[in-house]
């Protein structure tokens, strides 16, 4: 019927995967994101991670820590592993992917880039990984490498790109990561963000309490989180 069985306002949507074994992230994986920083395109994927405790729901609040003054947004395509594997060949890597969702790789830039360059700490404060709104199965996405990907802050478009600008596509990333660790069902792979983050604007723009961040990807939906 197209009608909700339960009123939408009466429920809280949780993250589609709330407690994965691993949250694997990729840095500098869009050509336009490299260009805005004036850095060379990586020859191999740059891998870091978030702790699962950073995960938040698609409409949950992002808590602005007192420990940072440079809170930034990063809309990302997230892949969810559905089949266990190690040393996965790139040709069959997509068979190990259950589906895709929208992610926001929230980042404390002062911790990431200064303060000892603590990438992990700068990326993994609680609520720094909103996910959702649902897992869209791989079969339902015609071409995951040709989807528009966008982020808006308070209604102002900040990021507007396409997944065709990925440097390393999903099969390459799945195969690469599986060289080092065993991928298991439920693992989440964040594939990088396009140009338009706050840190590289002139002048830089950072999130403040009360801001609303909306991340959306074609075919996958929208997540929207308020900074508190």
Helix, strand, or coil (residue 207): strand
pLDDT tens-digit profile of 53-111?
A: 999 999 999 999 999 999 999 999 999 999 999 999 999 999 999 999 999 999 999 99
Question: Where does the pLDDT of residue 155 fall: very low under 50, low under 70, confident under 90, or very high at 90 and above?
Answer: very high
Residue 140: both structure tokens together: 């339902």
Q: What domains, with CATH codes, occur in the chain?
A: 17-227 (3.90.850.10)
Mean pLDDT within 119-128: 96
Question: Where does the pLDDT of residue 123 fall: very low under 50, low under 70, confident under 90, or very high at 90 and above?
Answer: very high
Residue 144: both structure tokens together: 């995951």
Quick one: pLDDT at residue 142? 93
What phi and psi values does residue 177 have, to the nearest 5 degrees?
A: -65, -35
Quick one: pLDDT at residue 71? 98
Rounded to two decimals, what is the model's pTM?
0.96
DSSP lists the bridge partners of residue 131 as 103
């Amino acid at each position: 019927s197209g009608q909700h069985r339960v009123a939408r306002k009466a429920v809280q949507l949780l993250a589609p995967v709330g407690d994965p074994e691993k949250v694997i992230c990729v840095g500098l994986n869009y050509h336009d994101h490299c260009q805005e920083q004036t850095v060379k395109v990586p020859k191999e994927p740059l891998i870091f991670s978030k702790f699962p405790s950073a995960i938040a729901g698609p409409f949950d609040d992002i808590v602005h820590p007192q420990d940072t003054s440079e809170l930034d947004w990063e809309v990302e395509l997230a892949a969810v592993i559905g089949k266990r594997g190690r040393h996965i060949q790139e040709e069959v890597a997509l068979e190990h992917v259950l589906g895709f969702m929208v992610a926001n790789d929230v980042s404390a830039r002062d911790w990431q880039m200064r303060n000892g360059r603590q990438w992990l700490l700068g990326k993994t404060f609680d609520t720094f990984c909103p996910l959702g709104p649902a897992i869209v199965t791989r079969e339902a996405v015609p071409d995951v490498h040709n989807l528009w990907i966008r982020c808006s802050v308070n209604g102002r478009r900040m990021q507007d790109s396409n997944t065709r600008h990925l440097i390393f596509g999903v099969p390459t990333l799945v195969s690469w990561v599986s060289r080092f660790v065993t991928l298991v069902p439920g693992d989440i792979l964040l594939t990088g963000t396009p140009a338009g983050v706050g840190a590289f604007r002139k002048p830089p723009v950072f999130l403040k309490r009360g801001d609303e961040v909306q991340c959306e990807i074609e075919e996958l939906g929208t997540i929207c989180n308020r900074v508190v």
